[in-house]
Structures are given as structure tokens and as C-alpha cells.
Structure 1
């Protein structure tokens, strides 16, 4: 796509495409997301999208100015998918843990798109809602604003980074994934204690855990640290109050 701009009021198409569907931004995003998972980043071309939609490629400019505009919309849709069934319960640790696991699972459901979009800032509806909601959870828990932002930053970066990391593994051919997982059993578990005492002592744990993502454990460590930090802040505030 080029940088051609179509006014928002003109970004509508009411006539069906050759396949009998009416174009919309939502349909284009859904189709692009499917094509990315099937073909990778090269799927984001007006020609391929137009062919998949049964539409004149130029009609896509009614909805998106260029490829990057569409990529940001895809990234925002991934965020929206994580939020749709997430509910704040008032237990800030449980709520953030639930959201973190949803972000990670959403990335694994769309691994190629997750790798392309993890580093993007969309400034769009779903991302804004996510930032507002997460900061609301942290401020509601009692974190001062600088701490709320610091923990939000660490939380979202951790979730996105693990999502991209594990998505890259998921995107590998199955044979390659299985071969790499087997290295823990065939190589590390057989290293002798005489030369590698620490690996030998922990090898059964390595074999048991290294085949899967460490994100749940990393998330729990982050939330435990955040809980400890909140307790420290409350204790400090209590000590500063006159008795």
C-alpha cells in the first residue's frame, strides 16, 4: 500500500465484492490476520488482500492509508481479543495474572502476527482501553502513580516479550520444535557431574520444565515482587504518619 489518503467519510463500501461480501475495516483486518498466519508478513499486500476478499485492491484504501496503517489495526485487534472476556474482580494480583495469561495465549493463537506486532504502539481504541484498565487496577490497589506506571511497563513488556518469544518457537516446523526440546534429554541430562555438577544435579528438573514456556512462572515472580513492593510502600507510609 502507498501513503494515499482517503477521507474517513469516503471509507465505506456498500456494494458487495465479487464474493458477495460487503467490505469493512473489520473484515479486512480479519482476512489480513488469517493471511499472515498462513503466509507471513508478505501477505500484507493490496494485491493478495484484494484477491482474498474478491475486491479491487484499490478499494482497500477506503479503509487503510497504507500497509503500516493496516498492521497497527491488526495489532490493536489482537489486544482487543485479549480484553473481550477479561473482567476486573477487585483482586489486583489475580486480575493481572489472568490478563497476562490471556495476552500470552492470544499471541500463541496468532504467532506470526504476534511477532510482527509485539513492539508496536497503536494509539487505538483497544490499546487505550488496555492501558487505562491496567493502570486502573494498579492505582486501585494503592500503588502511587510512578509505581503504577513502572509496574504496568514491566508487566506489559514481559507479556509481549514472552508472547513473541514463544510465538517464534511455535512458528518453527514441528520437527524442529521437537528436536530442540529433545536436546534437554539427550544432551543436558547426560552431562557428567564431574564436569558439569550444577547441570547434572538439576537435569531432571531441566528436562521437565524447559520444554514449556516459563511465562507463567515469570509472571508469578513479577506479581510477587509487585505485591512485596506495595507492602513496603504501605509500611513506609504508615511509619511516616504521626501516631
Structure 2
């Protein structure tokens, strides 16, 4: 039988679990995502993750120092998935629009991780690639380096923040989502004019407050950037 010294390092890192699968950073990340998205699965713990993988929870520490690091790895994996197949080239406005829509769609597909993705820096390879891609779109459009960074920060923070709001609403149960949407046209629109004169004045249009503002926000950002470039932008 081979001694530990003769076993390749990669094989030593990927030990089989009780259920026969190989333990790796990738399998841990996949299992963590499944746990988070399972009904009632908001709490990610090493014990639950070990049980799902069929291994001793302590084995996970060979790959990740804590659950927070696992959470960031999951977030980085979702960034990778959201931009898979994205090929820069062509009109910068269309590229930026596609880039934003992919991020927004991914956040809504995985709403329980939206807040983490909007507020944390993963330092993972997918995030680095995404930032590099976004900066490249703006640089090719003709923005100076400092303006590129400022615009990218405004762009990505706005897109992620709105996506997090939309994802939080999506994660509500159906009854609460309906209540939230109807509140504008029922409650607010029906408030007394004497106490709330401005709400009363626009009451027939308060239905516009329901739903996501993402499409309009995105176009407003793109128009603002184009204006910075002038008529040729």
C-alpha cells in the first residue's frame, strides 16, 4: 500500500467522504449553496454542511477557515455563473446593459445570497474577472482611468443595491409580495388629502411605485455615462 508521501498532493487534498464523493473546495461550495437555498436553509453551519457532505465537520477546515469564507466562495461562484458566456465587444452601452442584466438576474435567482453579494468583496477569481471586465468596457468606451473607476463604482454599486432590494422582495412569501405591491394603490393612495396633500395629488400614479425600478435605473446610468463622453459617446 502506498505511503502518504507517495500519494499525490492533489489526491491527499481530495479525500472521499462517507457517501463516496471526493471532498474539495468545489464540492463544499456546491453543498453550501444547496443548503442555503433549501427551505429554511438560511443558517449555514459547519455541522450542517458536514452532515450534507457525509464528512466530519472538522474536515471542512482543511479547505476553509470558517463559514464566512465559505459564504464568500459561494458568492464568487455565483458571479462566475452569472457572467458565463459573456463576451465583450461591440457597443459599450449594450455591453454594460448586458453585464448589469446578468448580475441582476443572478441575484434574483439566488435571493438569499443577494445581500452578501451586494455588500461584500469576495476577493475570489470570478469577482476579479468581473471587475476587470466591467472596467474594460468603460476604458474601451473612452473614459479616462480615474473616471472609469468612478463610473464603475457608481454602476456596480447601484446595480447590486437595486438587485438586492428586488431579491429581498422576491424572497417574501406570495401573500406579502401582493400586500407590498397593493400598498401603494390601496393604502397610500387612500390617505386623506388634508394630511398628505402630495400623496393625494399623485394618487392615480402611485401604481408606478410598485415593481422594480431596475430597468429605468440602468438606462439612467448609461445615459449619464454617455453624456460624459459628449456627442460622440
TM value normalised by structure 2:
0.86
For the residues of structure 2 that align with 1:76 and 1:13, how far apart are their CA atoms?
Answer: 21
Bigger RCO of structures 1 and 2 (CA < 8 A, at least 6 apart): 1
* Structure 1 residues 128 and 11, CA gap change in structure 2 (3 angstroms): farther
Residue equivalent to 1:229: 228
Matched, 1:62 2:68: no
The residue that corresponds to 2:131 in the other structure is: 131
Structure 1: distance between partners of 2:157 and 2:11: 37
Please provide the CA RMSD for this pair: 2.3
Which residue number in structure 2 is paired with residue 13 of structure 1? 14
Quick one: distance in 1 between partners of 2:12 and 2:179? Answer: 49
1:120: which partner in 2? 120
Alpha-carbon distance in structure 2 between the residues aligned to 1:221 and 1:117: 23
Per-residue CA deviation, residues 27-56 of structure 1 (Å, 9 max, x unaligned), is 21121112122335422x111001111122
Shifted more, 97-106 versus 186-195: the winner is: 186-195
Residues 115, 164 of structure 2: 8 Å contact kept? yes
Other-structure match for 2:86: 86
CA distance in 1, matches of 2:75, 2:12: 20
Contact 1:107/1:167 (<8 A) preserved: yes
Q: Tell me how far apart the structure 1 counterparts of residues 118 and 11 of structure 2 sit (CA, whole Å).
A: 31
Partner of 1:239: none
Secondary structure of the 1:146 match is helix
**Cα deviation, residue 94, structure 1:** 0.9
1:227 CA drift (Å): 0.4
Range that drifts further, 21-30 or 193-202: 193-202
Q: Distance in 2 between matches of 1:166 and 1:225?
A: 23
Deviations 1:84-118 (A, max 9, x none): 12221321111111111111111111111112332
Q: Which residue of 2 aligns with 1:24?
A: 24
Structure 2 segments unaligned to the other structure (5+ residues)? 1-8
Q: Deviations over 1:109-132 (max 9, x none)?
A: 111111233211122100110111
- Asked if structure 2 preserves the Cα contact closer than 8 Å seen for 1:92 and 1:137, the reply is yes
With the length of structure 1 as denominator, give the TM-score of the two structures.
Answer: 0.83
Q: Report the Cα distance in structure 2 between the residues aligned to 1:177 and 1:186, rounded to whole angstroms.
A: 14
For 1:196 and 1:65, the matched residues in 2 are separated by: 54
Distance 1:178 1:61, change over 3 A: same
Is the Cα–Cα contact under 8 Å of residues 117 and 160 in structure 2 kept in the other structure? no
Question: Displacement of 1:204 after TM fit?
Answer: 3.8
Match of 2:145 in 1: 145
Q: Write the distance in 1 (CA, Å) between the matches of 2:143 and 2:11.
A: 45
**Alignment length, in residue pairs?**
224
Establish whether residue 100 from structure 1 lines up as the match of residue 100 from structure 2.
Answer: yes
- Residue 218 of structure 2: aligned partner: 219
Deviates more, 1:34-43 or 1:59-68: 34-43
Q: Following the alignment from structure 1 to structure 2, what is the Cα–Cα distance between the partners of residues 9 and 67?
A: 23
